[in-house]
């Protein structure tokens, strides 16, 4: 990032922090209201925690079925042996003990929007004054003929971290000498735009040590991808990218996308009939907002939840706020950092609305680090503001990406990636 860009970026960061702390002095007449947060990922946990910091008396319930949340950020690092699943696991103890959030370990089966009630799978019903939804993503069922998300136990997506990540890692490590990993990348928009390319890098690090003739082939329905110049320069430097011996190949199939799977032959087939066989098939399906949001009628034909970005209120229901991957905050990418940022702005909006206060205009941040090797990090950062009542825009000149050929800075960025991960987890869950 150029100096001027970094300075502007830091100014906006401190302005955003000021906007949050300034809300402490707002009226607290809505203290007895009940705010229910659904989904204990980066968005939901941050929203619950921030609400508590704004109002000591508010009645806050978080509903999340899992006792331990496994973070997707950092999960690609497992393929290079840099992380284990327990190191990616976080519980809700701090939310309960330190932030006095009532955490209910259950799944929300349905939302009765007219009566403002949730039906939980365990049988309980729960009334809310305001609902914050951060339920993450679901996978489209019909994008690749012959493939359904139920086949993920054979062809893991590993796009929801946990057992899927371990399965894909076992398949990688059991691959025959000189075998092929196919990564079928998803179309836009999807969670974590640089994720498939960081994954290829981390897998290549392991293969270079243990299966040096193996190949990773990325089949992409997009013409270009996030941080492409940086990834390709890194692949050239470390994995012979662009030569016949390259461990990583990237193919755009924008005009000829993968449309079929022949599961028996472990082969994916493109629109024009080109066949690609892999020993390991990492099919990352096209995505939508989570099923709960779809069933509640909160998505539009894009499959994502349209919101008023200023308040994160659903355009279909003003008592429901949607944040994180499920919501449509374009051009902000779907990332954990963005979910954390959207959650903070949403908590301020909910608090303001409960107290009949003007909702302050939010800023949002996204910083996304990726590792190409354990010692080579790259990053992209963006700062966003309201462009109009219903549109978000990137602030020109704020944010930016690392430089190609940054030399020693790449090592620093790799270290920053690790510390940014720890900070984000602490900031969201502890």
- Choice between 26 and 203, CB closer to ligand FAD: 203
- Choice between 247 and 289, CB closer to ligand FAD: 289
- The least CB distance from residue 274 to ligand FAD, in Å, is 27
Please list every residue from 119 through 178 that binds ligand FAD, using CB under 6 A.
Answer: 134-136, 159
CB 325, CB 305: distance < 8 Å: no
Would you give the binding string for ligand FAD spanning residues 286-325, x where CB under 6 A is met? ----x-x-------------------------------xx
Segment interacting with ligand FAD (CB under 6 A) among 61-69, 144-152, 212-220, 311-319: 61-69
- Choice between 269 and 338, CB closer to ligand FAD: 338
Taking the C-alpha atoms of residue 92 and residue 40, their distance in angstroms, rounded to an integer, is 8
Strands 117-120 and 108-112: antiparallel
- Choice between 75 and 402, CB closer to ligand FAD: 75
- The least CB distance from residue 11 to ligand FAD, in Å, is 22
- Choice between 185 and 219, CB closer to ligand FAD: 185
Q: How many residues bind ligand FAD (CB under 6 A)?
A: 36
- Choice between 65 and 240, CB closer to ligand FAD: 65
- The least CB distance from residue 330 to ligand FAD, in Å, is 14
The DSSP result for 111-172, as a single string, is: EETTTTEEEETTS-EEE-SEEEE---EEE-SSSSBT--GGGGGTS----S-SHHHHHHHHHH
The DSSP result for 5-71, as a single string, is: HHHHHHHHHHHHHHHHHHGGGS--TTTT-EEEEE--SHHHHHHHHHHHHH-SS-EEEEE-S-SEEEP
- The least CB distance from residue 55 to ligand FAD, in Å, is 21
- The least CB distance from residue 106 to ligand FAD, in Å, is 7
- Choice between 312 and 398, CB closer to ligand FAD: 312
Between the CA of residue 199 and those of 206, 220, 387, what are the distances in Å? 11, 14, 34
Question: Any contact of residue 382 with ligand FAD (CB under 6 A)?
Answer: no
Would you give the binding string for ligand FAD spanning residues 62-81, x where CB under 6 A is met? -xxxx--x--xx-xx-----
- Choice between 195 and 400, CB closer to ligand FAD: 195
Among 140, 54, 69, CA closest to 100: 54
In 305-422, beta strands by DSSP E: 305-308, 313-314, 317-322, 327-328, 363-373, 376-388, 391-394, 400-401
Please list every residue from 218 through 277 that binds ligand FAD, using CB under 6 A.
Answer: none
Taking the C-alpha atoms of residue 323 and residue 318, their distance in angstroms, rounded to an integer, is 14
- Choice between 35 and 63, CB closer to ligand FAD: 63
Between the CA of residue 159 and those of 74, 136, 204, 322, what are the distances in Å? 12, 11, 18, 21
- Choice between 74 and 221, CB closer to ligand FAD: 74
- Choice between 26 and 381, CB closer to ligand FAD: 381
Cis peptide leading into residue 189 (ω within 30°): yes
Question: Any contact of residue 108 with ligand FAD (CB under 6 A)?
Answer: yes
Between the CA of residue 24 and those of 96, 306, 350, 351, 362, what are the distances in Å? 21, 29, 13, 10, 16
Q: Which residues of 146-180 are buried (b: 16+ CB within 10 A; e: fewer)?
A: ebeeebbeebbbbbbbbebbbbbbebbeebeeebb
Question: Any contact of residue 410 with ligand FAD (CB under 6 A)?
Answer: no
- The least CB distance from residue 108 to ligand FAD, in Å, is 4
- The least CB distance from residue 386 to ligand FAD, in Å, is 21
Please list every residue from 322 through 341 that binds ligand FAD, using CB under 6 A.
Answer: 324-326, 334-337, 339
Please list every residue from 12 through 41 that binds ligand FAD, using CB under 6 A.
Answer: 38-41
- Give the binding site for ligand FAD (CB under 6 A): 38-44, 63-66, 69, 72-73, 75-76, 107-108, 134-136, 159, 191-192, 195, 290, 292, 324-326, 334-337, 339, 368
């Amino acid at each position: 990032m150029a100096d001027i860009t970094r300075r502007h970026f830091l100014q906006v960061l401190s302005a955003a922090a000021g906007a949050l702390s300034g809300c402490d002095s707002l009226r607290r007449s809505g203290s007895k209201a009940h705010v229910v947060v659904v989904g204990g990922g980066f968005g939901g946990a941050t929203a619950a925690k921030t609400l508590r910091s704004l109002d000591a008396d508010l009645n806050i319930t978080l509903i999340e079925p899992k006792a331990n949340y496994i973070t997707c950020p950092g999960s690609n690092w497992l393929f290079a042996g840099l992380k284990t699943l327990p190191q990616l696991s976080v519980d809700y103890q701090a939310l309960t003990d330190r932030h006095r959030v009532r955490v209910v370990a259950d799944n929300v089966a349905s939302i009765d929007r007219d009566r403002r009630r949730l039906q939980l799978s365990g049988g309980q019903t729960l009334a809310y004054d305001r609902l914050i939804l951060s339920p993450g993503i679901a996978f489209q069922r019909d994008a690749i003929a012959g493939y359904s998300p139920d086949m993920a136990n054979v062809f893991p997506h590993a796009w929801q971290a946990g057992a899927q990540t371990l399965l894909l890692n076992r398949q990688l490590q059991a691959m025959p000498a000189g075998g092929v990993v196919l990564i079928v990348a998803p179309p836009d928009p999807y969670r974590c735009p640089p994720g498939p390319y960081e994954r290829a890098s981390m897998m290549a690090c392991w293969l270079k040590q243990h299966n040096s003739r193996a190949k990773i082939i990325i089949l992409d329905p997009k013409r270009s991808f996030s941080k492409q110049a940086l990834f390709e320069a890194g692949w050239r430097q470390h994995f012979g990218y662009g030569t016949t011996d390259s461990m990583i190949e990237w193919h755009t199939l924008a005009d000829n996308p993968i449309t079929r799977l022949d599961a028996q032959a472990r082969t994916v087939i493109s629109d024009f009939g080109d066949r690609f066989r892999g020993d390991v098939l990492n099919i990352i399906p096209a995505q939508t907002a989570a099923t709960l949001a779809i069933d509640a009628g909160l998505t539009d034909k894009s499959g994502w939840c349209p919101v008023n970005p200023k308040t994160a209120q659903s355009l279909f229901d003003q008592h429901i706020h949607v944040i994180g991957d499920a919501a449509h905050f374009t051009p902000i990418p779907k990332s954990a950092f963005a979910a954390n940022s959207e959650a903070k702005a949403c908590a301020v909006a909910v608090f303001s609305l409960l107290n009949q206060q003007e909702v302050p205009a939010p800023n949002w941040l996204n910083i996304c680090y990726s590792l190409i090797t354990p010692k080579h990090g790259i990053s992209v950062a963006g700062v966003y503001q309201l462009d109009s009542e219903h549109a978000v825009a990137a602030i020109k000149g704020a944010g930016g990406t690392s430089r190609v050929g940054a030399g020693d800075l790449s090592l620093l960025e790799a270290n920053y990636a690790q510390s940014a991960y720890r900070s984000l987890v602490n900031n969201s869950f502890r």
